[in-house]
Amino acid sequence: MLRRRVIAAFVVVTALIADDLPESVIKLARVKTKVAGWLEHLPNYTCLVTVQRMSQSPRAPAFTPIDKMWYDIAHSNGRELFAWPGSGRFSEHPITTAVTYGVSSDGEFALHAKTVFTGGYATIRFHGREDLNGRESLRWDYVIPLFGSAWTINHAGREAQVSSHGSFWIDAERLDLIRLEVYADGLPADFPDRDASTTVDYGPVRMGARDVLLPQTATLILAEQSGTRNRNVMEFSHCRQYAGESSIRFDTEDAPSTSSVAPESAEAELPSGVPLRLQLSESIDSRTAAIGDPVNAALVTDVIQHGRTLILAGATVRGRIRRIERQAGPAVPSVVEIEFIEMEFSGKRARFFGELKRLEGSVNGLRTISSPAIPGAARLSFEGSSFHLSRGTIMLWTTEGLKRLERSGPSVGQQPVRFRY
């Protein structure tokens, strides 16, 4: 009886203390608990990382593309592994050790978030409410001292461990992490770089039967003492729960396919340069659409190459809404970005890499269609603050292959700069 009274008294006191706390403190505690749970229970999965590297000389008006790089990242039992596309061989060494020139980094996937939300050294202060891309959000600012940071920058043979400060934004209703900004502090005066920052945007991704919060885009900006600025834009896409290893390829010749798993879960590779007519299975409407919502389509006509039918009509293509931008005012266009992740046909699955060429027929309010750096994604811009794609809309795509590296400028001579944990 006494034990029950003590427990009851403890509950009452806790409730009274909670009533006296500011709302921002209570919400911060909930946010930290939610993010910590997300980081602790990440499933085993793989994602494709598309990195666009750019540079801006002191007198140049804008950034110039240097190259575009792709690699796969895998989260396996708490470890982050990487592999070049198509190799199927993941390495425990960080990507920064494999890139021999230019700016490379790791930490954007989870390590920055772990330092802020679970490291135990961050001092956090509530900033206020803000609008972030049309979403009502709550902003907090934070500072991480040097002894609580593992972030290091290596340039021209010199290495500096840095402290940091920044901000993070949380969805005001769902309390989901939306954005995290990190700024490096304490770089030595004679170090080759004077400023460094990273911005990571997050969104929900369907993994099995549940949604998982994962990075969508990360932007790293590095300012050198010489006045040169470097920018890496990293897009995380094609994220799927890891179930096994398999390799099935379509060849132009009648070469046999191989697989290390059962046929019903076999992994295939789509041929490049094949036109696809895909029909939306559900409508996409700005009044109900949300980032992370599933987007499904069906193949309308058979895929035939060199006189051989590779994929029959009816094959399913699965994806999601990757980004939504809605701003007030009729002069500002609204944007929806969709990402197709995989195609399923004849008991096989294949990662979907392609470019949207056009839509059949007229779509009310559609202004432009563009292709972001992500293979398999399309960005549609509409007039005004709303958008609508009807069920049954026909989309014309062309499949494309995936390279390891695509050079755009003179980057081979650049010294390697590495950001790592």
- Give the tens place of pLDDT for each residue, 293-313: 999 999 999 988 888 888 999
Dist CA 198 CA 181 (whole Å): 6
pLDDT at 101 over 90: no
Stretch 64-72: mean pLDDT, rounded? 89
pLDDT band of residue 98 (cuts 50, 70, 90) is confident
What is the chain's mean pLDDT, rounded? 83
Percentage of residues in the chain with pLDDT exceeding 90? Answer: 47
Pair 421, 78: CB distance under 8 Å:
no
The mean pLDDT of 406-419, rounded to a whole number, is 63
Of 166-170, 348-352, 388-392, least confident by mean pLDDT is: 348-352
* Position 37 pLDDT exceeds 70: yes
The reported pLDDT for the residue numbered 346 is 86
Alpha-carbon span 208 to 216, nearest angstrom: 18
Residue keyed to tokens 């006189």: 307
pLDDT for the residue numbered 316: 96
Q: What is the band of 105 on the pLDDT scale with cuts at 50, 70, 90?
A: confident
Average pLDDT over residues 231-257: 62
Mark residue 38 as left, alpha or beta (left: phi above 0; alpha: psi -120 to 50; beta: remaining). alpha
Among 47-51, 138-142, 307-311, 322-326, top mean pLDDT goes to 138-142
Domains and CATH numbers, the chain: 27-241 (2.50.20), 263-399 (2.40.128)
Q: Which has more confidence, 89 or 398?
A: 398
pLDDT single digits (tens) 135-174? 899 999 999 999 999 899 988 788 999 999 999 999 999 9
pLDDT > 50? residue 250: no
Average pLDDT over residues 86-102: 78
- CA separation for the pair 136, 132 (Å, rounded): 6
194-219 pLDDT, tens per residue? 999 999 999 888 877 778 888 999 99
Residue with tokens 């240097």: 66
Residue 28 to residue 61: CA distance in whole angstroms:
41
Cβ-contact 226, 59 below 8 angstroms: no
User: Please, are residues 337 and 351 in contact by the beta-carbon 8 Å criterion?
Assistant: no
Per-residue pLDDT, averaged over 31-49, amounts to: 87
- Rounded mean pLDDT, 79-90: 78
Does 249 score more than 80 pLDDT? no
Please provide the size of the chain in residues: 421
